[in-house]
Structure 1
Amino acid sequence: MDHHEVVERALIHIEERLDQPLSLDEVADAFHLSKFYFHRLFSAMTGISLNSYILSRRLNASLPLIREGRTSLTDIASQLGFGTPSSFTRAFQRRYGIAPSSLRAHLPPLLPVPIPPLVRRPIKNINGDVVADFTLTEFAPMRLSGIVFEVDLASDYEATIRSHSNLLLQELDASVQGPCYVVYSNCQPDSTRFNVLCGIPQELRIEKPFYFTVDVPQLFCAKFTYTGDLLEIGDVLKTDYARFLKISRQETDDSHIELIQRFDDVHDLGSSYHIFAPIQKLPLDSEEE
């Protein structure tokens, strides 16, 4: 089994045993791995520790039991491995912001969610630690033509990014070939607003609002590769980047550009893509990690 298959099977293993004692030792033994390596692998692949994941899934499993109303909260807490009803209530409130008893009163509706899909990306082992595979690379300066807009994390930013990006794609016919870039920039401290550019490295003449030509400077970056919607893997990306900075002992750059996303085919934005995260170029960083 490859790393993705091991963790995917571990997620199923956990889901089928939420009413049984679960520990790092037990889950690691089930896949014939040392607990130390399995813990690093699981955390790297999911962006969350094993114990935190088990807790979240047990709370998720409690939702239909609470709504059905046939089992007391005390029995639900015991059934799902919580030491006491009070520990169950505290964990539930931290997770959902309400007490379990409020859910039983039908306010507000909370529905269980399926096992989260595993974000697929290559990984590598560095000195015994597992991290998302990366390279250190120069992002060449380029001029991008496309659509520029502002989004606010406090609003439905996902819909905003998708709808505005589609405005660009609607202007491109089959004769336009090559990569597409999405640049995330100008995210200020204590602000939920940032700018997004969706463009291509070709000149476009589109006489409509929001269309601009922007020069992206040369940047030294950590490059990652992912499969899946960037807007749905944000937490995993943040964890990957934090682990990369810690293990590689790199520091973020003070560029106004936060991230650059590159799709190799402008007509296939559902494909794998590369993420470029600007970092400081230190004197010894002349070669790929």
Structure 2
Amino acid sequence: MNHYDVIEQALIFIEDRLDQPLSLDVVANASHMSKFYFHRLFSAMMGCSLNQYVLSRRLNASLSLIRAGRLSLTDIAYQLDFGTPSSFTRAFNRQYGIAPSSLRTSHPSLLPVPIPSIVRRPIKNINGDVVADFTLTEFAPIRLSGIVFEVDLASDYETTIRSHSNMLLQEVDASVQGPCYVVYSNCQPDSTRFNVLCGIQQDIRIEKPFYFTVDVPQLFCAKFTYSGDLLEIGDVLKTDYARFLKISRQETDDSHIELIQRFDDVHDLGSTYHIFAPIKKLPIDSDEE
């Protein structure tokens, strides 16, 4: 059984037992793994600890129970294995920003979400730590032609990125082959705004606003590979990158480019893609030469 199957079955096991104690020992035993390795695998695959995940799913399950109105908030708290009603209320407020009691009279858009899908990417074990597989590589300088725009993380940035990417693809002829690049840059400290370039290496000339030709410099990067939508794996990517920095003892670069996403097929932006994260190229120790 591969690691995807292990975690997928663990998520189903958890979902079916949200009204029962779900310690690391319980879930690891059900997965036929040591609790130490299961903890590392689960955290690496899901981008959060088992306890954090179980808490979020219990709160998710409470939404339907609250709206149904058949149980008191106290009964719901105990049914979902919260220690006390007050701990349930605090956790609900932290996750959703409202009191659970207000859900019965307002917030119709706050609905339960299904079991999350697992982000597909290769992983490896480094001295007992499970991390997303990565390679250190030089990103060769390239010239990209495409569309440049600004997004704000405080707004509906996913829709903005998808709509502008589609604008580019509408201008790309079916005969054009090769990769498509999405470059995220100029995210300033304490700011939620950053620039996005969606482009290809072919020289395309489009007489419309937002279209530019940009030179991307050579960069030393950590390279990761994922399947799925970058906009839907933010927390997992953050966790993968933080683990990579800690275990590899690398440092982020001060480049204005935050991330580069490369799809192998410009006509299939739902395919497997690669993430290049600029890091500092540390000098080689003279004793190791």
Aligned to 1:74: 74
TM-score by length of 2: 0.97
Q: State percent identity of aligned pairs.
A: 87
SS at match of 2:59: helix
Aligned to 1:63: 63
Aligned to 1:229: 229
1:107 aligns with 2:106: yes
- Unaligned ranges ≥5, structure 2: none
Aligned to 1:137: 137
Residues 26-77 of structure 1 deviation map (CA, whole Å, 9 limit, x = unaligned): 0000111000000000000000100000001011111111111111111111
C-alpha RMSD of matched pairs (Å) = 1.0
1:173 aligns with 2:173: yes
Q: Following the alignment from structure 2 to structure 1, what is the Cα–Cα distance between the partners of residues 54 and 272?
A: 29
Q: How far apart are 1:284 and its partner, in Å?
A: 3.2
Aligned to 1:27: 27
Q: Following the alignment from structure 2 to structure 1, what is the Cα–Cα distance between the partners of residues 160 and 10?
A: 35
Aligned to 1:272: 272
Q: Following the alignment from structure 2 to structure 1, what is the Cα–Cα distance between the partners of residues 245 and 283?
A: 17
Residues 72-109 of structure 1 deviation map (CA, whole Å, 9 limit, x = unaligned): 111111111011111111111111111111113x2222
Q: Following the alignment from structure 2 to structure 1, what is the Cα–Cα distance between the partners of residues 31 and 163?
A: 43
Q: Following the alignment from structure 1 to structure 2, what is the Cα–Cα distance between the partners of residues 97 and 194?
A: 26
Aligned to 1:159: 159
- For 1:54, give the aligned amino acid: V
1:201 aligns with 2:201: yes
Q: Following the alignment from structure 2 to structure 1, what is the Cα–Cα distance between the partners of residues 268 and 284?
A: 37
Q: Following the alignment from structure 1 to structure 2, what is the Cα–Cα distance between the partners of residues 172 and 126?
A: 42
Q: How far apart are 1:126 and its partner, in Å?
A: 0.5
SS at match of 1:260: strand
SS at match of 2:131: strand
Aligned to 2:50: 50
- For 2:207, give the aligned amino acid: E
Q: How far apart are 1:243 and its partner, in Å?
A: 0.7
Q: How far apart are 1:283 and its partner, in Å?
A: 1.9
- For 2:153, give the aligned amino acid: L
Q: How far apart are 1:137 and its partner, in Å?
A: 0.2
SS at match of 1:94: helix
SS at match of 1:244: helix
- For 1:208, give the aligned amino acid: K
Q: Following the alignment from structure 1 to structure 2, what is the Cα–Cα distance between the partners of residues 61 and 15?
A: 9
Number of aligned positions between the proteins = 284
Aligned to 2:247: 247
SS at match of 1:266: coil
Q: Following the alignment from structure 2 to structure 1, what is the Cα–Cα distance between the partners of residues 283 and 59?
A: 48
- For 2:162, give the aligned amino acid: R
Q: Following the alignment from structure 1 to structure 2, what is the Cα–Cα distance between the partners of residues 205 and 98?
A: 50
Q: Following the alignment from structure 2 to structure 1, what is the Cα–Cα distance between the partners of residues 171 and 98?
A: 47
